[in-house]
A and B are shown apart, each in its own frame.
Chain A
Amino acid sequence: MAIARPLQIETQIADACATLTLAGELDIATVPRLQEAVEAALASDPTRLIIDLRPLGFLDSSGLRQMLMLADRAGEEGWELLLVRPAEQVLAIFQVTRAEENLPFVDEPPLR
């Protein structure tokens, strides 16, 4: 049985840019919470969604799939997705799958 693991999501919305900062663990158990937070953020109709993965401690294949789906959706719905590059152990899964080179990673959140 999936036990909800701690995932902290901090949402900031300013000037048509929504930033979700993720800390803790993003896995099969916590992905639904990210989905909720994303829906809430997109409700404000931003032109850009930034997901800051830097404080994240763990991300599994469910989390990876979620990033892929967001990237697809951004293309379809016409908004921009930016992922702020996580720490090495979390980045590993993006490297093993070569998703790193295919997803919109940035080192720092853009200053406006």
Chain B
Amino acid sequence: MDLSRARKILNVADSAFISMDDEGLITYWNIRAEETFGWTREQAIGHDAIELIVPERYREALRRGFRRFKAGGETRLVERRTEQVAVRADGSEFPVEVIVSALQEEHGHSFHAFLSDISERKAQEAERQRLLDELERALQGSEQRLQAIVDSLAEAITIRGRDDRIVYANKAALARLGMSSTAELAAADPRALMGSYTAFDERGRAIDMDDLPSVRLLRGEDPEPLLMRTIDPRDGNEAWVLLKATAVRDPEGRVESAVTIIEDVTVSKRLQLRNEFLARAATLLASSLDYEQTLQNVAGLAVPQLADWCGVDLVDEDGRRQSVAVAHVDPTRVELAARLRQYEPEHMEPDRGIGRVIATGEPMLYNDIPQELLEEAASDEHHLELLREVGMRAVLLVPMKIRGRTIGTISLVSAESGRTFDPGDVEFAEQIAERAALAVENARLYSERASIARTLQASLLPEALPELSEWEVAAMYRPAAVEGEVGGDFYDLWEIDGDWLMMIGDVTGKGVRAAAVTSLVRHTAWAASEFDSRPAHLLERVNAALRRRPSLSVCTALCMRISRAQVTVASGGHPLPWRLGAGEVKEIGSHGTLLGAFANAQWPEQTFRLGVGESLVAITDGVTDTRGPDEERFGPERLCELLGAVCAESPAAIRERLVAELERFQVGAQADDTALVAMRHTGPSAAREKAARAGEDVRVEA
């Protein structure tokens, strides 16, 4: 073979290649040899090879070997692959694999050697050996533990040594950590390894390496299993893992290493969390009709479990966007999120972002948001800066739909956690949005109903109490605590031929139906009084009107005609009025029949003459039925006692005392409406004086 051609090829060989003459002087030195040993060809040619590249302590042994070979003896040096130690020009030593060929020449031999730097391989081998030794030690003396590990090989398993390094990881564990080999893993700084993952505990707090059960075990603690949420930085995937650590002890009982079994519980944990979330969200959504607060609470629930921040936007009738809730894992960043949301246009573009979700009713998911998208979305420099500051990785927008109409969106943003959203997240977020939409709709319907109820209620009571000659009057109406309902209690006071008619009543039932009955009762009484203002006649006409209704409509009413000092009383099944005289409190009048209920009915009338300073107090049963402690009711006895204590007071003072007493007595929410009309006979002399004080009516809101 043409030596020069061969050398040309050898020059580009991957190993160092050198040729030597019979004396061991270098005759050829390829490029790789220059790199490997740090000597140029010019420097190397003609030099004694052993002297040049073998550390001094090995030279003599090598020379002996070559001499033996030349004398026709055996040497392990020639035609065999051996490992030697070589030295570079800078004096550093490194392991090499050498294979030497000897050729018979005219005079003696020529020697040709391939030399490969095997430092890396040697290091790996040494490490492997160390690991194997460590593993062996770890597994030694504990057949059961070995068995346990072998049995659960489907799980990821790691063994952490005393220096916190992971000395062993099975295949599943390596895949989880993104490592290709145990050696790579062992070589890695354990903290760096941890840091490549974003890990949180169940409450969303970041998990440090020192929190890991294996590390704690090695510190001599007795750790509980740790449930950890991890985000893989490479793909943003979220996972839940349960870490359980077991100690491996040396014969002296010291913890030598910690075996961790890593169980992937993502599926069951997500299911559990979602169920919990839905249950909590459902409770929240049903708990209040203040939907803005409710949505804020739901947004708060969504972080950090679902996203790093969560926003809720509603669209009003004019198609304008209203941001109603923003929540962030870190409350200090809520402000940033809120600032960012200001950039969202109020009038939305139907082809992108929230506007598009509103228009299409379809969710939108952006995972791994590229810079360009941010730049495109930003309306100006400040906006872009904010967007960058938030550091979004993924955005999920889901529609809040009610009966096919989209009334708003829930925006979920993943930033710090670096997680992305998967189809399961989309589905889950849609479920939440659906429930939230329903809550908003209910709240809206309810507030409409509540305002209708307030208007209606107001129409059922006199706007202001009129001025009566010779009488001071005060009235009160407290609706039951159930909001948005029209109560069944009413009172009225009107003039007829110089006399006054007072009516107080209670329509059984609530809501618009009761309001209609109340209206019927009042109008019937007004109309009837034009012809005949006797209380019994009014009640008779009301009874007849109610009886004509197709469904059972019943009502109690007390009617009084006031003619200066003279009062005529008739009751249609209503509690009788109280007369507060000089040191005496008693019910006056006779019971009459409930209105609207029976064919056989009677309303006996009684007439009384009141002295100056005497008062009349009429109530509805909401007063005496007020529930107090130990299932007790306020009852007529307490009322009588109270009225006795205030019998000399003005109607307004009586009213105030009664309200205060009821509020003091009451346990729980007010179950029924309560109404009161109090009037004091002042006599003709006080008429002018009283005109200045003006009896007013008061409606106490529950």
Using a CB–CB distance below 8 Å, which chain A residues touch chain B? 1-3, 5, 25, 27-29, 57-58, 60-62, 64-65, 68-69, 72, 89, 93, 95-99, 101-102
* Contact between chains at A58 and B600 (CB < 8 Å): no
* Contact between chains at B671 and A29 (CB < 8 Å): yes
Instruction: From the candidates A28, A60, A64, A96, name the one contacting B575 in the complex (CB within 8 A).
Output: A96
Residues A96 and B573 in contact in the complex (CB < 8 Å), given A68-B597, A102-B597: yes
Chain B nearest CB, measured from A25 CB (Å): 7
- Most chain A CB atoms below 10 A, which of B506, B556, B571, B671: B671
Q: In the docked arrangement, what's the CA distance between A103 and B668, Å? A: 33
Per-residue CB proximity of B621-634 to A under 8 Å, as 1/0?
10001000001010
* Contact between chains at A99 and B594 (CB < 8 Å): yes
Q: In the docked arrangement, what's the CA distance between A65 and B597, Å? A: 9
Instruction: From the candidates B552, B591, B625, B631, name the one contacting A98 in the complex (CB within 8 A).
Output: B591
Q: In the docked arrangement, what's the CA distance between A3 and B670, Å? A: 10
Closest to A63 in B: B508
Contacts of B482 in A (CB 8 A): 1-2
Q: A60-B621, A61-B621 are in contact. List 13 more A-B contacts (CB 8 A).
A: A3-B669, A57-B631, A58-B631, A60-B672, A61-B506, A62-B509, A65-B552, A93-B621, A95-B591, A98-B573, A98-B601, A102-B597, A102-B598
Which residues between 590 and 608 of chain B lie within 8 Å of chain A, taking CB atoms?
591-594, 597-598, 600-602
* Contact between chains at A97 and B631 (CB < 8 Å): no
- Most chain B CB atoms below 10 A, which of A5, A29, A68, A96: A96
Interface: B159 (CB within 8 A): no
Contacts of A28 in B (CB 8 A): 671-672
Chain B nearest CB, measured from A100 CB (Å): 10
Contacts of A89 in B (CB 8 A): 635
Per-residue CB proximity of B544-556 to A under 8 Å, as 1/0?
0000000010101
* Contact between chains at A64 and B508 (CB < 8 Å): yes
* Contact between chains at B591 and A96 (CB < 8 Å): yes
* Contact between chains at B600 and A102 (CB < 8 Å): yes
Interface: B481 (CB within 8 A): yes
Q: In the docked arrangement, what's the CA distance between A25 and B668, Å? A: 16
Interface: B574 (CB within 8 A): yes
Per-residue CB proximity of B561-579 to A under 8 Å, as 1/0?
0000000000101111000
Instruction: From the candidates A25, A61, A72, A101, name the one contacting B556 in the complex (CB within 8 A).
Output: A61
Per-residue CB proximity of B43-67 to A under 8 Å, as 1/0?
0000000000000000000000000
Contacts of A64 in B (CB 8 A): 508, 594
* Contact between chains at B598 and A99 (CB < 8 Å): yes
Interface bin, chain B: 20 to 34
The 8 A-B pairs of least Cβ separation, nearest first, read A97-B573, A97-B594, A98-B593, A102-B598, A65-B508, A61-B508, A68-B597, A60-B625
Using a CB–CB distance below 8 Å, which chain B residues touch chain A? 481-482, 506, 508-509, 552, 554, 556, 571, 573-576, 591-594, 597-598, 600-602, 621, 625, 631, 633, 635, 668-669, 671-672
Q: In the docked arrangement, what's the CA distance between A28 and B509, Å? A: 9
Residues A99 and B575 in contact in the complex (CB < 8 Å), given A29-B671, A57-B631: no
Instruction: From the candidates B508, B593, B635, name the one contacting A62 in the complex (CB within 8 A).
Output: B508
* Contact between chains at A97 and B508 (CB < 8 Å): no
Question: How many A-B pairs fall under 8 Å by CB?
Answer: 72
Chain B nearest CB, measured from A71 CB (Å): 9
Contacts of A61 in B (CB 8 A): 506, 508, 556, 621
Closest to A58 in B: B633
What would 5 A/B residue contacts be, using CB atoms closer than 8 Å? A1-B482, A2-B482, A97-B597, A98-B602, A102-B597
Q: In the docked arrangement, what's the CA distance between A46 and B591, Å? A: 35
Q: In the docked arrangement, what's the CA distance between A50 and B621, Å? A: 27
Instruction: From the candidates A1, A25, A97, name the one contacting B593 in the complex (CB within 8 A).
Output: A97
Q: In the docked arrangement, what's the CA distance between A68 and B671, Å? A: 22
Contacts of B671 in A (CB 8 A): 2, 27-29
Q: In the docked arrangement, what's the CA distance between A97 and B625, Å? A: 16
Q: In the docked arrangement, what's the CA distance between A96 and B591, Å? A: 5
Q: In the docked arrangement, what's the CA distance between A98 and B539, Å? A: 14
- Most chain A CB atoms below 10 A, which of B509, B591, B598: B598
Contacts of A98 in B (CB 8 A): 573, 591-594, 598, 601-602
Q: In the docked arrangement, what's the CA distance between A47 and B631, Å? A: 36
Closest to A89 in B: B635
Q: In the docked arrangement, what's the CA distance between A95 and B556, Å? A: 13
Chain B nearest CB, measured from A3 CB (Å): 6
* Contact between chains at B509 and A65 (CB < 8 Å): yes
Contacts of B576 in A (CB 8 A): 96
Contacts of B591 in A (CB 8 A): 95-98
Q: In the docked arrangement, what's the CA distance between A75 and B668, Å? A: 39
* Contact between chains at B508 and A99 (CB < 8 Å): no
* Contact between chains at B669 and A1 (CB < 8 Å): yes
Residues A3 and B575 in contact in the complex (CB < 8 Å), given A58-B633, A98-B592: no
Residues A97 and B556 in contact in the complex (CB < 8 Å), given A58-B633, A60-B625, A102-B598: yes
Residues A68 and B669 in contact in the complex (CB < 8 Å), given A1-B481, A60-B625: no
Q: In the docked arrangement, what's the CA distance between A96 and B620, Å? A: 12
Q: In the docked arrangement, what's the CA distance between A27 and B633, Å? A: 12
Q: In the docked arrangement, what's the CA distance between A55 and B151, Å? A: 68
Q: In the docked arrangement, what's the CA distance between A28 and B602, Å? A: 27
* Contact between chains at B631 and A25 (CB < 8 Å): yes
Chain A nearest CB, measured from B487 CB (Å): 12
Instruction: From the candidates B552, B621, B635, name the one contacting A68 in the complex (CB within 8 A).
Output: B552
Chain A nearest CB, measured from B480 CB (Å): 9
Q: In the docked arrangement, what's the CA distance between A28 and B485, Å? A: 14
Q: In the docked arrangement, what's the CA distance between A55 and B180, Å? A: 80
Contacts of B602 in A (CB 8 A): 98
Q: In the docked arrangement, what's the CA distance between A68 and B552, Å? A: 8
Contacts of A62 in B (CB 8 A): 508-509
Contacts of B506 in A (CB 8 A): 61
Chain B nearest CB, measured from A105 CB (Å): 14
Q: In the docked arrangement, what's the CA distance between A5 and B671, Å? A: 11
Chain B nearest CB, measured from A4 CB (Å): 12
* Contact between chains at A72 and B672 (CB < 8 Å): no
* Contact between chains at A69 and B552 (CB < 8 Å): yes
Contacts of B598 in A (CB 8 A): 98-99, 102
Q: In the docked arrangement, what's the CA distance between A23 and B195, Å? A: 67
Closest to A96 in B: B591
